[in-house]
Amino acid sequence: MKILVLNGPNLDLLGKREPDIYGHATLNEMMTAVEERAAGLGVEVICEQSNDEGALVTRIGHCSGEVDGIVINPAAYTHTSVALRDAIKACGVPCVEVHLSNIQARESFRHESLTAGACVGQISGFGGMSYSLGLEAVVDYLRRKDTK
Ligand code: DQA
């Protein structure tokens, strides 16, 4: 089983970006932790990041057949991107949305997620652990689907 872990804009700045909200770990450190969790679950992960909405849309749109599931942190595009929502719907690959911060406890413009409705579910507020929880969730979803 292969899972794409996809990161949106400004997440390449983790470590130095608003550490009071996002912590001190870099994206590389967080992705290393996800890779370790993936090894424990016996699955393969591909970790990627882009600041470009179009690149993310294209990546999602073309991942069917290559990966079995997606863990996505769409970052700011969560709250703005109909294109990302449509790409997640269109690709037909089960997707779990994750956020480091609890978006419901922040500014009101972060309370709405345009992308979550296209996903299997959303995990928000557990820092870097949100990625591992998201990975577990999508793997569990896929394994349960396989045994049906
Ligand atoms: C975020 C939350 C978003 O509102 C914000 O724009 C981000 C990061 C998170 O992981 O907490 O860039 O997705």
Which parts of the chain register pLDDT below 70? 148
- Spatial neighbors of 25 by CB under 8 A, at least 6 apart, are 14, 15, 127, 128
The catalytic residue positions are 22, 99
pTM of the model: 0.97
Taking residue 54's Cβ as centre, other Cβ atoms within 10 Å add up to 9
3-state secondary structure 15-68: CCCCHHHHCCCCHHHHHHHHHHHHHHHCCEEEEEECCCHHHHHHHHHCCECCEC
Percent of the chain as helix, strand, coil, to the nearest 5? 50, 20, 30
If you measure from the C-alpha of residue 106 to the centroid of ligand 1, how many angstroms do you get, rounded to a whole number? 10
Give me the pLDDT at residue 146, please: 82
Structure tokens at 103: 């978006």
What is the C-alpha separation between 52 and 69, in angstroms, rounded?
Answer: 21
Q: Would you say 71 and 60 are in contact if contact means Cβ atoms under 8 Å apart? A: no
Helix, strand, or coil (residue 8): coil
Centroid of ligand 1 to alpha carbon of 98 (angstroms): 9
99 lines ligand 1 (CB under 6 A): yes
- Determine whether the shortest distance from the Cβ of 100 to ligand 1 is under 6 A: yes
Structure confidence at residue 120 (pLDDT): 98
Closest Cα to atom 8 of ligand 1: 75
Which atom of ligand 1 lies nearest, measured to the CA of 125?
11
Domains of the chain by range and CATH?
2-146 (3.40.50.9100)
From the CA of 100, how far away is ligand 1's center (Å)?
7
Q: Are 72 and 99 in contact (CB under 8 A)?
A: no
Q: In the prediction, which pLDDT does 52 show?
A: 98
**CB-based contact 84:131 (threshold 8 Å):** no
